[in-house]
Structure 1
């Protein structure tokens, strides 16, 4: 892998995390229209899936050639996103995010067990900085929340499933990210649909409720969500899953700032301190690699 590809993969993960940090805004807007909370994620996943139908038709040979290996990878990623989305319904957003973002821990362990990647001291330091920053932002000191309801368990499970997805993406670098993106949203929609039919079968939203949403949903999905999803499935193909989990923590940075701007949630010295720690954790390995490369170039010359 070239240095340019490595850099682009890291930037893609940072960008994807930023996009998912704004994820709550359209979901809340959909729910505020009166659509049942369980059906809001299905609407949100259904629209990008419909937008991707022309791509699915265009790429059907590649999708078919990928077989179940491609679909299993996409399904794992889609399941993680769906579990994470539903966790917001059954628990506090703060707890869902915190339990999900134990992901770097699970990713690092799985990468060691499955891929044989080393667990370096730098990675441990980065995880410590990131988790400490997260705890500071959420005002929990050094106390981890113990799962106490179904939403908490969904948040924890979503992080574990995403860690597995990151490992599978690393193993599936032969698959095009555009094909994975199609499967990602398709499986997210199917999992959400199954949950809705089981848990809220009588709350199906009408076309009159959905159509007015499309005027703002389609531009947001085409300009932000689809590129963000593509980045979140392309970048991890080239990076250690533990590093992917750390880079994705830009979601907390953008989530905290957007919540302060649009939801009136507090944003002060505590939030700034936490964001600085998370940003430091995300940049620790890239900066270290850059310094190492410069040192090697200097010694070579």
Structure 2
């Protein structure tokens, strides 16, 4: 089946789902559950379901783990922090502002891809990255004839902003680790990432219970718990595997541009649901970002294949 899957298309769809993830997350939170507990449950369920897949070939998994301890530990830490930071940022801060800060990602990905994977940065790639960053700037409110400083500083810097910035850099680093470990099964790398996110969310939840009213944090709705687990078993699992499979099959600079669809989706959904307002320049920024992603997807080829899990045979290949 993988022969019929286009990595760019899979990554595009996963990015759209990531960009709209704030909608179910906010709905579940409003059902009566804290940020940290919601995400702890979601990532725990996703990692458990992934472990079930791995269990069928535990001896092979053990061999892969023993041969790639350092890489998987790096994905556990960097990938886990990236996912935890990004999800928390969507709940803590302004969706559009968080996504704009996150989308310094093309800069990080290109620099890290050049530094660690020795990927070339052609004039075409540089032009597309500039177009994408121009779009980010316009969406951020830095527009001709506007008081862009007031637009950026209207909302004081907050936790969500810091988390968005951290998520962008660590996600770019995680993409590099995924591609550097092309001989390691994708499902094992994804499990390391999901476990890492669950670990960081556990730390966040423990910190919250220690510094805030623990009784209030523990008073959660039964429906909210079930919804959080359902989100982890469906939406989160799908976007985690979809995005990482796509990233593993594409050059870092190209994947970073396609992933910008997360920003476009977040802006459009936030505007549609009344969470954000866009000027004409803001809409032009979205067009710039989408154009960069589409232009890039038409130019680059697919990278060498990576090992994946074949459910039908229960084998790595």
Bin for the TM-score computed over the shorter chain: 0.7 to 0.9
RMSD value, Cα: 2.9
Once the two structures are overlaid, the 10-residue window that deviates more, 213-222 or 44-53, is: 213-222
**Whole-Å Cα distance in 2 between the matches of residues 203 and 131 of structure 1?**
45
Note closer, same or farther for the CA distance 1:36–1:217 as it changes in structure 2 (3 Å cut).
closer
> 1:83·1:158 contact (CA, 8 Å) conserved in 2?
yes
Residues 226-256 of structure 1, C-alpha deviations (whole Å, 9 max, x = no match)? 2211111112222221221111011112112
Relative distance call for 1:249 and 1:177 in structure 2 (3 A) is same
CA deviation after TM superposition for structure 1 residue 275, in Å: 2.3
The structure with the greater share of residues assigned to helix is 1
Rate the CA distance shift 1:87–1:223 in 2: closer, same or farther, 3 A: closer
Does 2:162 align with 1:153? yes
When normalised by structure 2's length, the TM-score is: 0.78
Q: 2:7 aligns with which of 6, 9, 15?
A: 9
- Between stretches 137-146 and 188-197, larger displacement belongs to 137-146
Counterpart in the other structure of 2:110:
108
- 1:195 paired with 2:197, answer no
- Label 1:60 to 1:22 Cα distance change in 2 as closer, same or farther (>3 A): farther
CA offsets, 1:1-44, max 9 Å, x none? xxx68x82222221221111011112212321332333332233
- Corresponding residue for residue 38 of structure 2: 40
Within-5 A mapping of 1:1-301: 8-67=6-65, 68=69, 69-88=71-90, 90-141=92-143, 148-201=157-210, 202=214, 205-206=217-218, 209=220, 211-213=222-224, 216-217=227-228, 220-266=231-277, 269-289=280-300
Q: Are residues 218 and 59 of structure 1, via their aligned partners in 2, closer, same or farther at CA, if it must alter by over 3 Å?
A: farther
Relative distance call for 1:32 and 1:187 in structure 2 (3 A) is: same
State the aligned residue count.
285
Task: Call closer, same or farther: CA 1:39–1:224 in 2, change over 3 Å.
Answer: closer
Asked whether the equivalents of residues 38 and 89 of structure 1 are also in contact (C-alpha less than 8 Å), the reply is: no
Secondary structure, aligned partner of 1:200: helix
Q: Structure 1 residues 270 and 217, CA, compared in 2 at 3 Å: closer, same or farther?
A: farther
Could you list the runs of 5+ residues in structure 1 that have no partner in the other structure? 291-301
| SS at 2:35 equivalent | coil
TM-score for both structures, normalised by structure 1: 0.82
Q: Which moved more, 1:176-185 or 1:197-206?
A: 197-206
SS of aligned partner of 1:38: helix
